């Protein structure tokens, strides 16, 4: 009997979840299409490229909207059961609200774990392909507007790490440059110059100094210009590395932070984004603690009420999340607290609500 109830509850919830995700995705696609319609027409983008662009856009929409979709699906599916007095019938048969909530909580917990895998393996690849299509077909002017990159760090071959304050990939030029070579995480060489230029397959660094740590004593040499013969990365390879932290996977971003640490660049924002990559997927699990007791009350089980509650909770979460994220970026909150505080608060509220509700 219990297994039948679990299957019944999960079927209703998963069906509602598919409908909620589909509806939210459709709205997001239409809004983005309207915003980009002028660029699509002006650049004569083919229908095939536009369709491919929006296919690769779907994973990003899913990542952002899945917590709201879970909340809406929970409110709607459980609310419909409450409105039809099915929740009351289950309670009369000795099935508590905790037992009703159990299969939904287990499902959303594993859904959250699946979202972490999704964000790590699928989303970065889809986002890179979407950006490629956008910059090349849908809005190529955007690529020209982004021809100057700032505070660029990259790990190259042979243990080399590059940091450019200003980089122009089209010209193969950089300003305020730092190039370091590591062996087994130990700094061996450091080149610092006012500018660098890529010429005939080699990088040339100007008006700087070289520090050599290969021997027991440090050596220091100033130069007007110096050819870095072992630095073979081409300018376009640096340009490809300009992905935003939110578009990277967890491992890619963690590696990027290690590069920033070695170059001495700041990495507070990137660390906060790294922590958020683990905390945000669990929002889908935490919101269920709030929606189950609210939706199980027949007085709050209408469709309009479900939308109202879902919109209110989602808006509140988004506002507080942005506040804590900004505090983390500015260093006023530790990265772990900036990433997890909103989930902790909502989890405590959810536990309080579900413990106070009628069992």
Q: Give domain limits for the chain.
A: 2-133+272-356, 147-241
Across 232-287, the runs of DSSP E, i.e. the strands, are: none
- 223 phi, psi to nearest 5 deg: -150, 155
Look at 4-18, 51-65, 215-229, 235-249 and tell me which has the smallest mean pLDDT.
Answer: 235-249
Higher pLDDT, 12 or 296: 12
Place of tokens 């289950």: 90
Contact 108, 338 (CB under 8 A): no
**% helix, strand, coil for the chain, step of 5:** 65, 15, 15
- Cβ atoms of 131 and 202 closer than 8 Å: no
pLDDT of 323 higher than 50: yes
Q: Give yes or no for residue 200 having a pLDDT over 60.
A: yes
CB atoms within 10 A of CB 121: 11
Beta bridge partners of 222: 209
pTM of this structure: 0.77
| DSSP state at residue 185 | T
Diameter over CA atoms, the chain: 86
């Amino acid at each position: 009997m219990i297994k039948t109830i679990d299957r019944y509850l999960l079927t209703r919830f998963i069906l509602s979840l598919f409908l909620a995700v589909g509806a939210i995705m459709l709205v997001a696609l239409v809004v983005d299409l309207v915003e980009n319609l002028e660029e699509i027409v002006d650049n004569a983008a083919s229908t095939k490229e536009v369709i491919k662009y929006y296919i690769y856009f779907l994973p990003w929409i899913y990542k952002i909207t899945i917590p709201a979709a879970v909340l809406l699906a929970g409110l709607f599916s459980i609310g419909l059961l409450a409105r039809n007095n099915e929740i009351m019938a289950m309670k009369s048969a000795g099935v508590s609200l905790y037992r009703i909530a159990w299969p939904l909580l287990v499902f959303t917990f594993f859904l959250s774990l699946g979202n972490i895998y999704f964000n790590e393996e699928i989303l970065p690849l889809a986002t890179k392909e979407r950006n490629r299509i956008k910059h090349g077909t849908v809005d190529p002017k955007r690529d020209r507007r982004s021809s100057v990159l700032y505070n660029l760090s990259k790990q190259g071959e042979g243990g080399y790490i590059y940091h450019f304050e200003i980089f122009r990939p089209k010209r193969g030029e950089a300003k305020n440059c730092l190039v370091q070579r590591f062996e087994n995480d130990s700094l061996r060489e450091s080149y610092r110059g006012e500018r660098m230029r890529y010429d005939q397959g080699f990088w040339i660094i100007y008006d700087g100094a070289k520090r050599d740590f290969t021997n027991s004593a440090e050596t220091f040499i100033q130069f007007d210009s110096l050819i870095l013969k072992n630095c073979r990365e081409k300018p376009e390879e640096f340009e490809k590395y300009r992905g935003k932290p939110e578009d990277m996977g967890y491992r890619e971003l963690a590696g990027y932070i290690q590069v920033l640490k070695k170059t001495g660049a700041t990495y507070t924002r990137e660390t906060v984004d790294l922590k958020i990559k683990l905390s945000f997927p669990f929002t889908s699990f935490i919101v269920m603690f709030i929606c189950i007791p609210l939706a199980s009350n027949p007085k709050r089980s209408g469709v309009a009420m479900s939308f109202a509650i879902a919109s209110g909770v989602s808006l509140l979460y988004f506002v507080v999340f942005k506040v804590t994220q900004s505090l983390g970026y500015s260093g006023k909150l530790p990265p772990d607290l900036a990433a997890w505080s909103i989930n902790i608060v909502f989890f405590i509220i959810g536990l309080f609500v579900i413990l106070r509700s009628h069992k």
